[in-house]
């Protein structure tokens, strides 16, 4: 490619771009190349006003190959995953899936990812769920546990160690 971003002197990275396309193809989704930048996604983006997520510009940058900038950005971690952008896209494209693919790339490249996601991942690896059963409060500010409410124990794999091992290996895999 012959583009250079003069603000950062970055050049498009076709290899990284192909990785996104590979992932999307694994999901049978269209690659961002067909986006004509109408901005309908950003007009309705749930995360734009509060967190300044611009799906159309993510599509644009992915299309042009400025992947590194995206992978290192905080922007991709602000998506609320409401799928409105995909639903409304007149070109049948899916910005939200491009964003997922970018986040996967960031993780694979060992970038620092937000602590919330980090915690969630560790918890799933540790005991299979994103969080442990909590003691909750009722309206009278009394604590309640599952047992108190006659609920059966939370499901858990019998051999959690084994599941853990499989999961550890799975996180190194790619869709294609």
Partner 1 sequence: MKELGLYLGCVIPTEQYGYEMSIREVLPKFDIELVDLEESTCCGAPLRNVNMFTTMYLSARNMALCEKKGIDLYAPCPICHLGLTEAKESLEENPELKDKINSKLEEEDLQYEGSTELYHTLDLLHDEIGLDEIEDQVEEPLDDLTFAAHYGCNTIRPNDLDRPDDSENPQKLEELMETIGIGTEDYPEKLDCCGGQVISDHNESALTKAGEKIEAVQDQGFDGLSTICPWGHRMLDSKQDSAADTIGESLDLPVMYYIQLLGVAMGIEQSRLGLELNLSPVDNLEAIESIEEAE
Partner 2 sequence: MSGIGVFICHCGSNIAGTVDVDELTEYASDLNGVTFATNYKYMCSDPGQELIKDSVEEQDLDSVVVAACSPRMHEETFQAVVEDAGLNPYRFQMANIREQCSWVHSDDMEKATEKAKHLVEMSVEKSRLSEDLEKTEVDVNSDALVIGGGIAGIQSALDLADQGKKVYLVEREPSIGGKMAQLDKTFPTLDCSSCILTPKMTDVARNPNIELLTYSEVEEVDGSVGDFEVKVKKKATYVDWDKCTACGDCAEACRRSGNVEDEFNEGLDNRGAIYTPFPQAVPAAYTIDSEVCISLEYDGTCTSCREVCELDAIDLDDEDEIVELNVGSIIVATGYDLMDPEKIYEYGYGKSKDIITNLELERIIDASGPTDGEIHRLSDGEDVESVTFILCVGSRDEELQSYCCRIGCMGALKHVHLLRDHLDEDVDINICYTDIRSFGKGYEEFYRRTRDLDVNFVRGRPSEVNVQEEKVELNVFDTTMDKLLQVESDLVVLVPALLPSEGTEELSRQLRITRSSDGFLQEAHPKLRPMDTFTNGIFIAGCCQGPKDIPDSVSQASGAAAKASTILSKDKLQSEATIASIDDDICSGCKMCISVCPYDAIEYNEEDEVAEITDVLCMGCGSCASLCPTGAIEHKGFKDEMLEAMIDAGLTEEEG
Task: Please state, in angstroms and rounded to a whole number, the distance separating the CA atoms of residues 7 and 64.
Answer: 15
Task: Please state, in angstroms and rounded to a whole number, the distance separating the CA atoms of residues 59 and 77.
Answer: 15
42 to 81: interface string for partner 2, x by CB under 8 A: xxxx--xx----x-xx------------------------
Query: What is the C-alpha radius of gyration for the chain, rounded to an integer number of angstroms?
Result: 20
Task: Please state, in angstroms and rounded to a whole number, the distance separating the CA atoms of residues 83 and 85.
Answer: 5
Binding partner at 39 among partner 1, partner 2, none, C-beta below 5 to 8 Å by kind: partner 2
- Note whether 50 binds partner 1 by CB under 8 A: yes
Binding residues for partner 2, total number by CB under 8 A = 20
Asked if residue 136 lies in contact with residue 151, where contact means CB atoms within 8 angstroms, the answer is no
Residues 79-98 that bind partner 1 (CB under 8 A): 79-84, 86-87, 94, 96
The first and second tokens of residue 99, run together, are 């964003």
User: Which stretches of the chain bind partner 2, using CB under 8 A?
Assistant: 36-45, 48-49, 54, 56-57, 84, 88, 90-92
């Amino acid at each position: 490619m012959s583009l250079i971003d003069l603000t950062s002197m970055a050049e498009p990275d076709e290899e990284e771009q192909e990785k996104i396309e590979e992932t999307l193809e694994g999901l049978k989704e269209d690659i961002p190349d067909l986006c004509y930048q109408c901005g309908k996604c950003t007009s309705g983006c749930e995360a734009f006003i509060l967190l300044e997520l611009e799906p159309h510009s993510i599509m644009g940058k992915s299309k042009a190959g400025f992947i590194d900038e995206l992978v290192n950005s905080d922007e991709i971690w602000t998506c609320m995953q409401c799928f409105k952008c995909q639903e409304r896209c007149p070109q049948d494209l899916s910005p939200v899936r491009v964003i997922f693919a970018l986040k996967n790339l960031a993780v694979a490249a060992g970038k620092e990812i937000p602590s919330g996601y980090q915690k969630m991942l560790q918890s799933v690896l540790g005991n299979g769920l994103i969080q442990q059963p909590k003691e909750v409060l009722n309206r009278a500010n009394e604590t309640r546990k599952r047992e108190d409410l006659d609920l059966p124990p939370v499901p858990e794999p019998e051999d959690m160690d084994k599941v853990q091992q499989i999961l550890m290996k799975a996180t190194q895999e790619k869709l294609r």
